[in-house]
Structure formats: C-alpha cells, structure tokens
Amino acid sequence: MNRQALDDLKQQIPLMGYLQAHDWHPARRLSRGRWMGLCPLHADHKPSFLVDPYKDLFYCYGCGRGGDVIRFAELYHQVKFSQALVLLHQWRGAQPLLQEVTRFYRFQLHRYSEAITYLYQRGVRSLELIEHMRIGYAPGGCLRGWLTQLGHSLPALRQAGLVTGVGYDAYVRRIVFPLEGNLYGRSLSDAAPPHRFLPGTKGGLYSWDQVRRYPEVILVEGLFDYAGLWQAGFQNVTCSLGAHLNVSQFRQLCDGPRTVYLTFDADGNGSGQQAAQYLSRSLRERGITARLVSLPQGHDPNSFFVAGGDAQEFHHLLQEASR
C-alpha cells in the first residue's frame, strides 16, 4: 500500500470516530479542541489519554504510546501493521453495509410468524426489547437480491460473509442481532449449526457503553441470556458471545473498579462453569471483584427466566454468588 492509499484510509476513518466506536469516551476538554479520557490501551484510573481530532493523533501520558488511527488499531487489537490495515479496511467497508442489512432484517422480523414464535419460546416478548437489541430475522433467499439492487457488488457481499461462495444468503432462517462490526445469527432449525457470525472479530462486550458506568455488572454468555435479564429489569447486563472472552472484552471488564457477576451456563459437562472460574481468577489478578453465580443445574440465564424464574429470584442468586 503506497503513501497516498494510507493517507486516504486515515482520512476516511477519523481517529475520534474510530475511538468512540470502540467505546472510548472523552472525559475533559482541553485547549485547541483536544480531549482527554481514560486510556483504552492500559488499565487507566485517571484520564491520561490525549486525542487531537484535528491532527488525528493520540498520546497516552500513562503508557507512553501514541500515533495515528493505524497505530491505535495495532495496539488495541494487538496485531501487526499489515493486519491493522486489513482490520481498518474491513471496518470502513462493513459499516454502511451492515446498517443496511440490519434495517432489512428488522423489517423481515414482523413478516415471519416462525420468527416471532421462536422469540416467544425463548422468552423475548416485549417490543421494547426487540427495539433495544435491534433484533431481526433472516429468512434466507432475499438479502442478496435486495443489496445488489441497492448497488452493492456481489464480490463485496461475499467478502463481507453475507453471501456464500456459490451465491446464496449466508444467514438462512436465523434470528439476527447486530453487533459492533458483526452480525450474530441464531438458527431456528436444529439441522444447521446454532451460532453464526460474519468472518472477523466478534467485537467487544455487548452494549458495553451503556453498562460500563454501573459499579456492578452481570456477564452472560449468550444474547438470549442478555435478553432474559434485560427484560426482567436488569440493565447492568452485558454479554461476551461465548464463554471465552477476547482480549478487548477482557480489557473492557478491567477498565475500572467494579464487581462482575459471572453468570455462565450450568451445563451438564461443566464447561461454562470452568470458563467462569478461569475468568474469575484472571479478573482478580487485575484487581476486579468477580463473583460466580450458580444457576439451577441444567439452566442458563435464558432458560431460568423462560422456566418462570423472576427478577426477585435472580436477585437472590446474585446475593448468594460465591466470591
């Protein structure tokens, strides 16, 4: 990639926008339009991360690192320069397309009774929750046509993972949830793999910018778990989309003092509980209070509520959570 192409890429991805899309919040305004905030690259307790939106540069007085948006992507995602370029390209390309896809699938949701029935079975019953999570439905066999009509090229759709190599919609009969830079799809049919993501990272913790201000947060594995808790009135819930956290998710949990209630599945083989124990040790090493919530055997937070559990009973489980 030549100098010009690098400059173009940087111009198309302003540092400030990229930082905010990765949950960075400016805390204090300085002279000449510059901002200070907590450093997303190290465990920062008082704002030491300086951003100059006009020069498109950052510098951290805590960890001494600084540079442009490419340097930030390298450090944040812990990748080499060339890989950071690939991530930034994907990020730039995916944003408008994913918004389009989200809009389309949200519209489909109310046209397919099978989708609404499935949501109902999984305890998703409030319209407010469907709006909050921007839940949609991918029936299959119609996204490609719609997007090409809008002018998106087939190779671009293939590269984004929305269309398969042979040209079919990649998401078929799936409830879909938009994520930051990705799309999670839960299959309605037992014949297909239950979980599907677009290629690339699953991103940070779900809805973290709304959750990070709580001194106590509840961490669950799946989006339907999240939905159950949110619907029961717990707004301090976030989701890691699997029992194993990626580097950015772990860093988010450690970005300030808090208590984390790990509420993973109580599955028969114990894998959820093992992952929770490992995570609680890692969190404690970073000075974060971790508590393990025990659900009744065989339950996950979603099935707990579907089976009739209520907010009061869940509160009780939180109180009983072991240290």
Which residues would be at the binding site for Zn ion (CB under 5 A)?
A: 39, 41-42, 60, 62-63
Looking at beta carbons only, is 63 or 321 nearer to Zn ion?
63
Which residues, listed in sequence order, are joined to residue 26 by a DSSP beta bridge?
Answer: 37
> By the 8 A CB rule, do 231 and 310 touch?
no
Q: Is 176 helix (H, G, I), strand (E, B) or coil?
A: strand
Cβ 287 to Zn ion, closest distance in Å? 17
Cβ 38 to Zn ion, closest distance in Å? 9
Cβ 96 to Zn ion, closest distance in Å? 31
Cβ 252 to Zn ion, closest distance in Å? 15
Looking at beta carbons only, is 39 or 85 nearer to Zn ion?
39
Looking at beta carbons only, is 40 or 181 nearer to Zn ion?
40
Q: Which residue has the tokens 């030549």?
A: 2
Looking at beta carbons only, is 44 or 221 nearer to Zn ion?
44
Q: Which residue has the tokens 């940070």?
A: 204
Q: Is 284 helix (H, G, I), strand (E, B) or coil?
A: helix
Cβ 54 to Zn ion, closest distance in Å? 21
Give the amino acid at 37: G
In Å, the largest CA–CA distance within the chain is 60
Cβ 65 to Zn ion, closest distance in Å? 6
Cβ 58 to Zn ion, closest distance in Å? 9
Which conformational region is residue 42 in: left (phi greater than 0), alpha (psi within -120 to 50 degrees), or beta? beta
Looking at beta carbons only, is 41 or 69 nearer to Zn ion?
41
Kindly give the pairing relationship between strand 289-292 and strand 182-187. Answer: unpaired
The arrangement of strands across the sheet holding 216-220 comes to: 237-239, 216-220, 259-263, 289-292
Question: φ, ψ for residue 218 (rounded to 5)?
Answer: -105, 125
Looking at beta carbons only, is 63 or 116 nearer to Zn ion?
63
Which residues, listed in sequence order, are joined to residue 228 by a DSSP beta bridge?
Answer: none
Looking at beta carbons only, is 42 or 71 nearer to Zn ion?
42
Q: Residue 300 and residue 311: Cα distance in Å, rounded?
A: 15
Looking at beta carbons only, is 60 or 162 nearer to Zn ion?
60
Looking at beta carbons only, is 84 or 232 nearer to Zn ion?
84
Helix/strand/coil percentages in the chain, nearest 5: 45, 15, 40
Q: Residue 171 and residue 102: Cα distance in Å, rounded?
A: 12
Cβ 37 to Zn ion, closest distance in Å? 11
> By the 8 A CB rule, do 213 and 238 touch?
no
Cβ 18 to Zn ion, closest distance in Å? 16
Q: Residue 192 and residue 102: Cα distance in Å, rounded?
A: 22
Q: Residue 180 and residue 198: Cα distance in Å, rounded?
A: 11
Question: φ, ψ for residue 2 (rounded to 5)?
Answer: -85, 175
